Amino acid sequence: MTVRAARHFCLFRCKNSNPDLRRLVLHDDFPDGVYPLRKDYRADRVEPRVPRREFTFPKVEGDGVFEIPVGPIHAGIIEPGHFRFQVMGDTVLHLEAKLFYTHRGLEKRAEGMDIEEGVRLAEQICGVCAVSHALSYSQAVEGIAGVEVPERALYLRSLFAELERLYNHVGDIANICAGVGFAYGSNHGARWKEALMQLNARVAGHRYLRGTVVPGGVARDVTDRQLDDIVHTVVEVRDNIQQIVHDVLGNPVAHDRFKKTGILWKDIAVKFGAVGPAARASKIDTDARRDFPHAAYPRLRFEVPVLEDGDVLARFIIRALEVKQSAFMIRQIAANLPGGEIRVPAGKLPAGRYHLGITESARGENVHFVMTGPGNTIYRYRVRSASYANWPVLPYCVPGNIVPDFPLINKSFELCYSCCDR
């Protein structure tokens, strides 16, 4: 499996028993012997291009079997990735993904960077999980520094994280409807997503909530007026989304397309360590907000919905259920927001220490590893994003389905390419 094998990272040189030695992160025209994450490698080195070597895709052969290559540039407004379908008629027999087209070398770029500045880079990993990535990074840094984050900042972090989850889930609900060409759901969902984006802009000054979370606390406070605005908007979005979901599921065509499409079996999900809503829709009870308590989540009441079917329908419904939970949490935060400081200085960090930061984004847990170097800099930075964990299970959900259902299955996972490729 393409992405799975990438965990045996070819940015270092390690000999291991990995059966899949294809070039994944550094594509086929990088010279041999390039290992960017080694310390003697300069981050901005320009590598010559060598003649392309073949990237082999497994082939299914036989009468009436065809291969469909798709990408890396897709027809819609989405990110780049290459897919190879082996099909017989309309049915997919095998799917292989080639990713890492948007690999920007962020982990290498971070090395030597100032710790405070690193959080800006963490936000660049992914546009739509910016809060979660910044939070993971900040928690890792705070773990090294050993600082206590003020209570108000913890609540505000949860507030921003839930606002991020909300706009993602509402957008995903719209997108899944778009995957079956159901304009009612996609347009109404897009409209409410825009309402949430503009709420973000009013509250935090940024539609994607970048620049809110920093090591030692948060950079933006909210006023009581803004809290009223947040609760008012969020409750309205929640009510409307419940109505939209109800209408979508009442439509037999949409329901038929969702049901039993792209099933993620529990054993596959467990084997590959799937996370987030995709795992929770496949009977895996996992949620970093509860399992690795962070921000103000230990002080908030919420339920973790878990469904059994593992199909597109389950992933659709689980998002609707989580929208409810997020709105509930935001109301609790607004009611119980304590006063006081919102930020403490992280101070000078000792060199050679490391720590993990784990948070739950709208796609699952984001894990950041930060190790400090001399002079308050980053020595090594490693990101295991939720999309990185979930990409390997996607090709297992597609075989047996028809080709036109692939966009729908893909959208129901809502995997981010840049999160995975970094």
* C-alpha dihedral (178, 158, 141, 201), degrees to nearest 10: 60
Euclidean distance between CA atoms 156 and 295, whole angstroms = 8
- Residue placing its CB nearer to other proteins in the complex, 187 or 242: 187
Return the half-sphere exposure (C-beta side, CA atoms, 13 A cut-off) of residue 410. Answer: 17
Span of 41-49, 274-282, 344-352, 404-412 interacting with other proteins by CB under 8 A? 41-49
- Which residue in the set 65, 195, 402, 403 belongs to the binding site for other proteins (CB under 8 A)? 195
Strands 213-214 and 91-98: unpaired
Compute the least distance from the CB of residue 108 to other proteins, in Å: 6
Compute the least distance from the CB of residue 258 to other proteins, in Å: 21
Within its chain, how far is the Cα of 170 from the centroid?
15
- Which residue in the set 13, 38, 202, 246 belongs to the binding site for other proteins (CB under 8 A)? 202
- Residue placing its CB nearer to other proteins in the complex, 151 or 229: 229
Nearest to 5 by CA among 106, 126, 98, 109: 98
Euclidean distance between CA atoms 50 and 43, whole angstroms = 20
Q: What CA–CA distances, in Å, run from 263 to 82, 106, 234, 365, 400?
A: 22, 33, 31, 21, 10
Token readout for 138 is: 């900040």
The H or E element containing residue 4 is: helix 2-5
Compute the least distance from the CB of residue 65 to other proteins, in Å: 26
- Which residue in the set 67, 116, 151, 194 belongs to the binding site for other proteins (CB under 8 A)? 194
Euclidean distance between CA atoms 416 and 422, whole angstroms = 10
Euclidean distance between CA atoms 399 and 391, whole angstroms = 15
- Which residue in the set 10, 130, 278, 346 belongs to the binding site for other proteins (CB under 8 A)? 130
- 13: burial class by Cβ within 10 Å (0-12, 13-18, 19+)? exposed
Span of 33-41, 157-165, 320-328, 360-368 interacting with other proteins by CB under 8 A? 33-41
- Which residue in the set 3, 140, 241, 416 belongs to the binding site for other proteins (CB under 8 A)? 416
Compute the least distance from the CB of residue 51 to other proteins, in Å: 13
- Residue placing its CB nearer to other proteins in the complex, 126 or 288: 126
Token readout for 152 is: 């108000």
Compute the least distance from the CB of residue 106 to other proteins, in Å: 7
- Residue placing its CB nearer to other proteins in the complex, 231 or 268: 231
- Residue placing its CB nearer to other proteins in the complex, 161 or 199: 199
Euclidean distance between CA atoms 234 and 95, whole angstroms = 39
Angle at alpha carbon of residue 265, lines to 305 and 274, rounded to 5°? 65
* Number of amino acids touching other proteins (CB under 8 A): 61
Asked whether position 183 contacts other proteins by CB under 8 A, the answer is: no
Euclidean distance between CA atoms 308 and 282, whole angstroms = 5
Span of 137-145, 202-210, 272-280, 367-375 interacting with other proteins by CB under 8 A? 202-210
x/- mask, other proteins, residues 227-256, rule CB under 8 A, reads -xx--xx--x--------------------
Binding to other proteins (CB under 8 A) within 70-129 occurs at 72-73, 75-80, 100-106, 108-109, 120-121, 124-128
Q: Which residues bind other proteins (CB under 8 A)?
A: 26-27, 30, 34, 36, 41, 43-47, 72-73, 75-80, 100-106, 108-109, 120-121, 124-128, 130, 171, 187, 190-191, 193-195, 197-199, 201-202, 207-208, 210, 225, 228-229, 232-233, 236, 416-419
